């Protein structure tokens, strides 16, 4: 039996929907990219990795992250045969799978709207109005993104129900999926916490030129919130560097993202991630680093962002 391993994102969710719909995989396992990069995930030939870093033991691998294309560039140039593909010019992994699977399977037309939303969220390029009035598919993606960005200790109900959401999404339109009690509770919780979340971001942020540094580590608790909305609070920011505690207290999680409301400035985030052991596409990326090294890595990232190519 083949397993789909996916990260907590709309791209991972939709990719899993497509693989299960076409019976390429029969099971869904939520996997953190860091676990794959560090070799902690027990990947084998029964795994189909989607929107995750490459692992040589996987049976199949499909991805679109720029960091992976750069990380594996030397291996490809030397002729190593890799079990999969990385197409960084395709907007999402879900789009890669939709294009390929449509050649051999009759895909339900309703699933294409999910793929379009995955494209938009992975590219992280949209207007501020999308955050105020998102479509149903975009809203679910933003909720998943909020949970993926949550600090350790924060309740993660969507993580616990990820496989259920994959199965339900194949059979229900987005508006009904949002009425699922767990999804509705998460959405209502984020809206209720919006003032407290905005206060926490302002309390922990410093804008230097066009780079916003948000260090949430000093806070005991961080209210749930949608990270993209940080740019509504700081409209002059073109890039945000966000630091949070990691599940392992010895580590620091660093997330870098360009504003979704502006053209992509140089450098692309995915270009910066391999050097610090991270993973990302053109607009956003993340790395988890050992605490004592965090300041040095942060300074290197800030220098790259302030002195673009």
Question: How many Å apart are CA 215 and CA 242, to the nearest integer?
Answer: 6
pLDDT-based confidence at 100, cuts 50/70/90? Answer: very high
Q: Residue 201's CB: how many other CB atoms inside 10 A?
A: 23
Q: Please state the rounded mean pLDDT for residues 45-60.
A: 95
| pLDDT score for 307 | 55
Q: Please state the rounded mean pLDDT for residues 182-202.
A: 95
Q: Which two tokens stand for residue 55?
A: 């692992």
pLDDT in tens, 133-145: 888 888 999 999 9
pTM of the model: 0.92
Q: What are phi and psi of 56, to 5 degrees?
A: -65, -20
pLDDT-based confidence at 87, cuts 50/70/90? Answer: very high
| pLDDT score for 96 | 97
Q: Residue 230's CB: how many other CB atoms inside 10 A?
A: 21
pLDDT in tens, 229-258: 999 999 999 999 999 999 888 999 999 999
Q: Please state the rounded mean pLDDT for residues 72-96.
A: 86
pLDDT cut 70: percent of the chain above it:
99
pLDDT in tens, 13-35: 999 999 999 999 999 999 999 89
52-66, 88-102, 169-183: least confidently modelled range: 169-183
Reply yes or no on whether the pLDDT at 128 is more than 90. no
Region for residue 25 given its phi and psi (left: phi exceeds 0; alpha: psi -120 to 50; beta: otherwise): beta
Q: Please state the rounded mean pLDDT for residues 217-221.
A: 91
Reply yes or no on whether the pLDDT at 120 is more than 90. no
Q: Are β-strands 239-245 and 251-258 bridged in parallel, bridged antiparallel, or unpaired?
A: antiparallel
CB 90 within 8 A of CB 96: yes
Q: Please state the rounded mean pLDDT for residues 246-275.
A: 90
Reply yes or no on whether the pLDDT at 309 is more than 50. no
Q: Please state the rounded mean pLDDT for residues 75-87.
A: 80
| pLDDT score for 139 | 92
Q: H helices of the chain, where?
A: 10-21, 33-37, 66-71, 73-77, 93-101, 111-123, 128-132, 136-148, 157-160, 162-171, 174-177, 181-192, 194-203, 230-233, 269-272, 294-306
Q: What are phi and psi of 207, to 5 degrees?
A: -100, 120
| pLDDT score for 124 | 76
pLDDT in tens, 157-170: 999 999 999 999 98
| pLDDT score for 262 | 83
Question: How many Å apart are CA 257 and CA 285, to the nearest integer?
Answer: 6
Q: What is the mean pLDDT of the chain?
A: 91
Q: Which domains does the chain have, with CATH numbers?
A: 3-189 (no CATH), 195-306 (3.10.310.30)
pLDDT-based confidence at 36, cuts 50/70/90? Answer: very high
Q: Which of 64, 67, 89 is nearest to 286 (CA)?
A: 67
Reply yes or no on whether the pLDDT at 308 is more than 70. no
Q: Is 23 exposed, middle or buried (0-12, 13-18, 19+ CB in 10 A)?
A: exposed
């Amino acid at each position: 039996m083949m397993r789909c391993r996916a990260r907590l994102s709309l791209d991972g969710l939709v990719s899993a929907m497509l693989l299960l719909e076409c019976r390429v995989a029969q099971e869904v396992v939520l996997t953190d990219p860091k676990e794959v990069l560090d070799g902690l995930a027990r990947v084998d030939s029964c795994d189909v990795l989607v929107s995750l870093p490459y692992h040589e033991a996987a049976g199949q691998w499909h991805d679109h992250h720029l960091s992976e294309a750069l990380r594996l560039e030397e291996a490809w140039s030397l002729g190593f045969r890799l079990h999969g593909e990385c197409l960084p010019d395709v907007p999402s992994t879900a789009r890669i799978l939709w294009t390929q699977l449509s050649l051999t399977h009759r895909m339900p037309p309703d699933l294409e709207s999910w793929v379009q939303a995955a494209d938009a969220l992975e590219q992280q390029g949209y207007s501020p109005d999308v955050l105020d009035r998102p479509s149903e598919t975009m809203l679910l993606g933003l909720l998943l993104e909020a949970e993926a960005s949550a600090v350790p200790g924060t309740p993660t109900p969507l993580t616990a129900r990820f496989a259920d959401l994959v199965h339900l999404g194949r059979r229900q339109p987005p508006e009904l999926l949002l009425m699922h009690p767990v999804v509705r509770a998460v959405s209502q919780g984020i809206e209720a916490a919006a003032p407290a979340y905005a206060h926490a971001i302002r309390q922990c942020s410093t804008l230097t030129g066009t780079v916003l540094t948000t260090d949430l580590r000093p806070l005991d608790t961080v209210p749930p919130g949608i990270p993209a909305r940080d740019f509504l609070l700081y409209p002059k920011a073109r890039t945000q560097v966000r630091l949070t505690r990691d599940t392992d207290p010895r580590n620091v999680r660093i997330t870098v993202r360009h504003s979704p409301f502006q053209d992509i400035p140089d450098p692309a985030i995915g270009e910066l991630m391999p050097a610090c052991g991270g993973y990302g596409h053109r607009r956003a990326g993340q790395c988890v680093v050992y605490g004592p090294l965090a300041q040095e890595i942060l300074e290197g990232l800030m220098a790259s962002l302030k002195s673009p190519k």
